[in-house]
Amino acid sequence: MKSTAILAFSRFANYSLLILSPILLVRILDPSSFGQYREFMAYAMLLASIATFSIPSNLLYFIPHQPANTRHYISHTNWLVLSTSTLVCFFVWLFRGPIIGNTSADFLAPLMIYVFLFVNLDVIESYWLARKQANNVFYYSTSRTVVRLTAVLGTAAITNSVDAVLNALIFVEIMRLLVVIVIMHREQLLSLIIDPTVLRRQLTFIVPLGLASSLHFLNLYIGQIAIAAKLGVAALAIYTIGSYQVPVLDIVRSAISDAIFPDMVHEAARDNTDRLRLWKRGNIAYSFLIIPTFVVLLWYADILIPLVFTEQYSEAISIFRILVFVMVIQCFELSSPLRAANRNRLLLAGNGLLLGVNIVCILIFFNYFQHIAIFGPAVGLVLGYVIQLLFLGWCILKVYFISVSELLKWRSLAIICLCAAMSYPVLVVGEFVAVPDIVRVGVFSLVFAIGYLILIHRAGLEEVEAVTNAVTQKLRNRFW
């Protein structure tokens, strides 16, 4: 709970900073320029995910297993990322013609440089997480986010130029590399050693997980790339705003998952206990926070989008309301148990299924429903997650030899949903009160949250009590 609280707070803080980027950029750049920036970032994040190949995450698995081989694991991880990123940049250059032909501008050179710098020597957070040093992750990641945000917004405000913003991003990554080199030297982690036996063991873990991760990010960004290529960067700007709540989902989810994963590895290897105990409790803690958030965002989307991103992005409201359902779907996070049992091939199959469904939906909308084609990627993403959820759930039943009733803490999930449903009428009542929209959102969201917390507290769920006690204790220690 301590590690989860620190990581969740860190990632909430980082996301709070990052969300300022589009809020301010839409007021600095016109929709076309903002769409061009988001087009670059869509390509950059997709290529970075392929180049990273989820390689650093192997440290979360191997370092808890064999701490004595830490330097070997980190050295191999750096070599592997260097190799994959070089290969990705080579293929980008090889296919530069089609890429330039389908983008709004020729940003090939900064794209390759940025991706290469962004992914290399990016192992320090995974190392700290594997060592359960969550405080270091907080300081490092928050500092990195602040510097990056300052560079992007400052450059955009001064120059009003997308090219200048891209150059600022590259400069920030150069500085990050220098800082990481200093940290790794101090921790005595800089090494060029290669042990073929250890490397083979890592590759067995990495390859299926990396393929699964690449498919996952391809699924996230293929819709944005298709919209930019077929509908233009202005349409991409609309879709980006509509989908901007999606990264919020990963904050608490990844914080919980990363905090408990090293211990899940140990539990998954033991037969004399409930090997999914921590994971089940993590799901309840996640659902406790996310389900009421989903209700508020879905209800007030028509107020929040124009308020936060200006009226010129009002068309994003419908996309936002479709994609917010991903919040509920991800309350059933089913990848960690398979990773903990080193069944990454099943994750690969699940992400392949997800991508296939998404692509089919995009093609159907772009070919047969062209007047609403922008909704294709959103519908494909939600439908794909549902089908992937069913497949991974079935895989966990087979891998852990359990029944559906043992898969999740169904009673606790039902209580959380019931408490949110019983608090929901507060939002309906708010529609009949004659106050400004911003006041309505603030006041009735707060009343909804208070009612929900009272009901959930009376239910006495142990995971909810653990979360609230951990937060309360942290605040007491900080301020009293």
Going by pLDDT thresholds of 50, 70 and 90, the confidence category of residue 361 is very high
Q: What's the predicted TM-score (pTM) here?
A: 0.76
Res 276: pLDDT = 80
Place of tokens 């290969």: 87
Q: What is the pLDDT of residues 38-80, one digit of tens each?
A: 899 889 988 998 999 989 888 888 888 888 888 999 999 999 9
- In this predicted structure, the answer to whether residue 392 has a pLDDT above a threshold of 80 is yes
- In this predicted structure, the answer to whether residue 325 has a pLDDT above a threshold of 70 is yes
Place of tokens 């991003």: 169
Q: Considering the chain, what percentage of its residues have pLDDT values greater than 90?
A: 40
Please calculate the CA angle 281-416-351 and round it to the nearest 5 degrees.
60
Q: State the chain's mean pLDDT as an integer.
A: 84
Specify the DSSP class assigned to residue 461. Answer: -
CB 284 within 8 A of CB 416: yes
Res 269: pLDDT = 52
Q: What is the pLDDT of residues 22-38, one digit of tens each?
A: 778 888 888 888 899 98
- In this predicted structure, the answer to whether residue 271 has a pLDDT above a threshold of 80 is no
The better pLDDT of the pair 470, 385 is held by 385
Run of H or E residues at 360: helix 344-368
Distance CA 461, CA 467 (A): 10
Res 182: pLDDT = 94
CB 324 within 8 A of CB 315: no
**117-131, 333-347, 412-426: least confident range:** 333-347
- The widest CA-to-CA distance across the chain, in whole angstroms, is 70
Going by pLDDT thresholds of 50, 70 and 90, the confidence category of residue 180 is very high
- In this predicted structure, the answer to whether residue 477 has a pLDDT above a threshold of 90 is no
- In this predicted structure, the answer to whether residue 17 has a pLDDT above a threshold of 70 is no
Q: Considering the chain, what percentage of its residues have pLDDT values greater than 70?
A: 86
In this prediction, residues 245-262 reach a mean pLDDT of 53
